[in-house]
Amino acid sequence: MKIHKEGKRIIVITLGMIFAIVLIINYYHPDQSLIHYLCYLALAALLVFVVRFFRNPDRPLSIDPTIVISPADGKIVEIIETHEPEFFGDNRLKVSIFMSPNNVHKNWYPVSGDIRFFRHHAGRFLVAWHPKSSDLNERTTVVIEKSNGTQLLVRQIAGAVAQRIRCYAEEGKNVDQGQELGFIKFGSRVDIYLPLGTDVLVSVNQKVSGCQTVIAKF
């Protein structure tokens, strides 16, 4: 299993913490007991969780300019027509994907094109499935313009636990569909804003896979 670069430091810190806890436990209570074994089991489970959280799967993709692929693993929690004030200033179709701590947290570009806009916003840490999290939480906004002029907005949103977003977008950069967009640590949400009239192919509560599930078709 490949480990994402964003997780390597955290995994090393976790290993050090586990090693220290084991040393302390055995220093003060050297006689092994059931409580010792339960502590070891809990620490092992923590390590497995952290390592698994930062898994970095390879997902080959055949680029298709007519489709929008899912930028994240997770579950569709909202599909609505709503006003997008930050960049477009008009109504768009918003598709929201909630990422639980059990999902892969790597994010992908849903379409190919040029990055026309990128912003990072500090903010609050509401639970990621809360509708207001799109506007109030820490978040990044990336607008990609396809070769035909169609623009699509992707927003990474931190949740109650996720308090660090990594986004590799740069204004003016050309990106490919399926290329890595970034990584969100420990539970989060990704919103996609599509032009009105786009044929959305997913439904609320549907589970989606990043770089694999087709979200919409132009």
**Among 70, 133, 134, 188, which one carries the catalytic annotation?**
188
- Determine, yes or no, domain membership for 59: no
Whether residues 43 and 97 fall in one domain: no
Whether residues 42 and 72 fall in one domain: no
Whether residues 49 and 71 fall in one domain: no
- DSSP sequence for 74-123: EEEEEEEEEEETTTT-EEEEEEEEEE-TTS--EEE-SS-EEEEEEEEE--
Instruction: Supply the pTM of this predicted model.
Output: 0.86
- Determine, yes or no, domain membership for 111: yes
Residue type for position 56: N
Q: What does residue 135 show for φ and ψ, rounded to 5 degrees? A: -110, -25
70 flagged as catalytic: no
What tens digit of pLDDT does each residue of 23-55 get? Answer: 999 999 999 999 999 999 999 999 999 999 899
Whether residues 72 and 42 fall in one domain: no
Whether residues 138 and 188 fall in one domain: yes
- Determine, yes or no, domain membership for 62: no
Q: Assign residue 141 the CATH number of its domain.
A: 2.70.70.10
Q: What whole-number distance in Å separates Cα of residue 173 and Cα of residue 175?
A: 6
Whether residues 11 and 112 fall in one domain: no
Whether residues 71 and 125 fall in one domain: yes
Domain count, the chain: 2
Which residue range is the domain that position 39 belongs to?
Answer: 5-53
What tens digit of pLDDT does each residue of 87-130 get? Answer: 999 999 999 999 988 899 999 999 999 999 999 987 665 555 55
Whether residues 19 and 127 fall in one domain: no
